């Protein structure tokens, strides 16, 4: 059972796109989660969910960040929602998945997971969200897993070593990055489990 693999923690891959690197001063612009399911004792990708987010009042969006993300906040097809609405919606989805697998908490999985986690913590504080499904400080970082499995830390290079497709044109979209990070996570965990089982 999935609940027994990570000490009753439900792994949920999270990726944020932000208006800078300071979690206290810069706005969240996009959030995506990639759920993880289990089939025949293997971790597989489940549903994905994404929200474009209106920058929270008085938080900064750096021009350099928008250029890097190739993001136009005023694009007519960018349907953005309030930050609290996005977080409440995401957390409800995670809690439903958590109950499905009888897990006690979710644990955030990310590439440089501390970055995404720090922004989530600040967003919960400013929106007075007291019950996040995520563990308050434990994380699973695919940088650490990636360097162990491939000797690489950059996501694109980790993917290359693992024979996972990576499209530079799609990169830095929260939904795409969450999906690719989830593929890395599942492959490394599945391969480790298989090798451990086969050698014992």
172 is in an annotated binding site: yes
Half-sphere exposure of 172 (CA within 13 A, CB side): 11
15 is in an annotated binding site: yes
Catalytic residue among 49, 52, 75, 172: 172
The SS3 call for residue 186 is helix
Which pairs from 77-83 meet CB under 8 Å and 24+ separation? Answer: 78/52, 79/52, 80/51, 80/52, 80/53, 80/54, 81/51, 81/52, 81/53, 81/54, 82/53, 82/54, 83/28, 83/53, 83/54, 83/56, 83/123, 83/127
128 is in an annotated binding site: no
User: Is 75 marked active-site?
Assistant: no
Torsion over CA: 159, 163, 164, 167 (sign) = positive
Residue ranges for the binding site? 15, 17, 172, 177
Q: Which residues are catalytic?
A: 172
Summarize the annotated binding site for Mg(2+) as residue ranges.
15, 17, 172, 177
């Amino acid at each position: 059972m999935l609940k027994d693999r990570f000490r009753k923690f439900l792994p949920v891959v999270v990726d944020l796109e932000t208006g800078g690197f300071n979690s206290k001063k810069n706005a969240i612009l996009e959030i995506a989660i990639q759920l993880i399911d289990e089939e025949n004792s293997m971790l597989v990708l489940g549903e994905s969910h994404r929200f474009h987010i209106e920058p929270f009042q008085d938080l900064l969006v750096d021009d350099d960040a928008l250029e890097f993300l190739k993001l136009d906040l005023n694009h007519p097809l960018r349907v953005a929602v309030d930050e609290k609405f996005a977080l409440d919606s995401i957390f409800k989805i995670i809690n439903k998945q958590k109950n499905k697998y009888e897990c006690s908490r979710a644990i955030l999985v990310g590439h440089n997971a501390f970055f995404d986690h720090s922004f989530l913590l600040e967003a919960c504080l400013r929106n007075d969200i007291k019950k996040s499904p995520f563990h308050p400080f434990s994380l699973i970082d695919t940088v650490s897993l990636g360097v162990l499995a491939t000797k690489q830390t950059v996501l694109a290079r980790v993917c290359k070593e693992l024979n996972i497709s990576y499209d530079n044109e799609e990169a830095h979209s929260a939904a795409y990055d969450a999906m690719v990070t989830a593929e890395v996570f599942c492959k490394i965990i599945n391969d480790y489990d298989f090798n451990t089982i086969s050698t014992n």
